[in-house]
Chains A and B, each alone.
Chain A
Amino acid sequence: MIEKARVLDKDTLNRSILRIAHEILEKNKGTKDLCLIGIRKRGAYLAKRLGDNIEKIENEKVPVGILDITLYRDDLTLIAAQPVVHKTEIGFDITDKNIVLVDDVLFSGRTVRAALDALIDLGRPKSIQLAVLVDRGHRELPIRADFVGKNIPTSKNETVEARLEEVDGVDEVVIVAKN
């Protein structure tokens, strides 16, 4: 694994999050019925940060939840490392809410597909939008993001790693070449 390029650093990453917060408010015309749900693991921290930003901008708290999609994956038997099941923590009713689903990197779209299934088992939201820090292309399903921090064209031989202070001790997005 060789790091090829750093595409976002602490400042640019946080500016992207702030911009997405503004875009979410613009598109949803404020915070009414709005809630954020982050996909474990890093999407959960991004959702929390988006929530904090929205609160600063609008002086209104929006509900923030965490979704674990391990049980909804279609590739459970395909991934080498065994996934560990964590908790879904959504302490509010999602029915008739406008939900912004948050994840770090959008790639094949399969994680988002699983998250949509998981969400719909929990209730019937009015709408679901998707916010991602990075869109790296290579979709395998008809899924697109409504809010994107940065579009990063990549080759399939590369991976994109979003690192967040809460988990990784640093805020950055890097492109890594697979051996």
Chain B
Amino acid sequence: METIWTRKDLLGLEDLTKEEIELILSTADSFKEVSTREIKKVPALRGKTVVNLFYEPSTRTRVSFEIAAKRLSADVINIATETSSVKKGETLIDTGKNIEALKVDIIVVRHNYSGAAIMLARHLSASVVNAGDGWHEHPTQALLDIFTLKEKLGKIEGLNVSIVGDIAHSRVARSNIWGLTKLGAKVTVCAPKMLIPAGIEQMGVKVTSEIDEAIRNADAVNVLRMQFERDEENAFPKQLEYFKNFGITKERLEKAKKNIIVMHPGPINRGIEISSEVADGENSVILEQVTNGIAVRMAALFLVAQANDPAPLI
């Protein structure tokens, strides 16, 4: 029995079933080939309009969504809130309703408040795709991480995956944990104690503050960026101190499995969470993640658009 996608939105991986996650991954696998063609375009979303509504700075994710939508033949509008009416005090829901009144089919939203995408989706009949909400979820990033892992290692079930870095403030970590554990991977999170949120064990992960322990048996390590811009209380370890104790370096990888996969959602801070040698080295799949992001986002846009179409006529 093939899984059917019925959700008008993609808000996070917490709500999805294992089968729904697998459907996105297999759809993405089919879409990957489109980007290798001379004419990198299929007409699947012709006549649909996608708005990228970004309340936080982003290049990678926004461009990736834009390219994904364009390769599906959708029309794309980008709204950066610094130059929009949001500056005049318009609320998120009002902005959303105005965009919807322009007969837009899909809104891709990034917001600094956790739950923003969920709230928007509840108030709109257009599809909403979460491109990152506060510290909550960043589903397409986790999906592309998992897609890349699966492509490299053939499966997810039974893998040991360690997530290293600022777990507390990371929506990427949270979405990865939901997705990976649902697909049967064993997840370890590793960070300075102050960057591990209380109760994270309840998500089914192992917790450590010893980097060598985190990578010793890992099949893959997902290195998160240290988000110093979120350090409002000036309580983070300093950059050099962090690199010394948690940075992924060639020396540290020598104690890990030889073919350990090194991932990073970008942008990378060389010499803080990862050394240049490792970032550019043979274990790194960082740029492949970027490529795979397009296929994963094409799948997400295609599936939500299809589910949100009017009822079948026959």
Q: How large is the interface on B (under 10, 10 to 19, 20 to 34, 35 or more residues)?
A: 20 to 34
A78 to B4, CA, bound (A): 16
Majority secondary structure, A binding face: loop
Q: Do residues A71 and B312 form an inter-chain contact, with CB atoms below 8 A?
A: no
User: Which of these, A72, A80, A121, contacts B37 with CB under 8 Å?
Assistant: A121
| B29 / chain A contacts, CB cutoff of 8 Å | 87
A9 to B181, CA, bound (A): 48
B306 within 8 A of A: yes
A123 to B38, CA, bound (A): 8
A86 to B30, CA, bound (A): 5
Interface residues of A in 92-130 (CB under 8 A from B): 117-118, 121-123
A68 within 8 A of B: yes
**Minimum distance in angstroms from B300 CB to a CB of chain A:** 12
**Minimum distance in angstroms from B214 CB to a CB of chain A:** 36
B39 within 8 A of A: yes
Q: Do residues A77 and B30 form an inter-chain contact, with CB atoms below 8 A?
A: no
**Minimum distance in angstroms from A132 CB to a CB of chain B:** 24
Majority secondary structure, B binding face: loop
A84 within 8 A of B: yes
| A81 / chain B contacts, CB cutoff of 8 Å | 4
A167 within 8 A of B: no
B313 within 8 A of A: yes
User: Do A72 and B43 form a contact, CB below 8 Å, given A77-B310, A78-B312, A123-B38?
Assistant: yes
| A89 / chain B contacts, CB cutoff of 8 Å | 33
User: Which of these, A78, A79, A85, contacts B30 with CB under 8 Å?
Assistant: A85
Q: Do residues A82 and B37 form an inter-chain contact, with CB atoms below 8 A?
A: no
| B312 / chain A contacts, CB cutoff of 8 Å | 77-80
Instruction: List residues of A whose CB falls within 8 A of some B CB.
Output: 68, 70-72, 76-82, 84-89, 117-118, 121-123
A-B contact pairs, 27 of them (CB 8 A): A68-B30, A71-B42, A71-B43, A71-B44, A71-B72, A72-B42, A76-B44, A76-B306, A76-B309, A77-B312, A77-B313, A78-B314, A80-B312, A82-B307, A84-B23, A84-B27, A85-B30, A85-B31, A85-B299, A87-B33, A88-B30, A117-B43, A121-B37, A121-B39, A121-B42, A122-B37, A122-B39
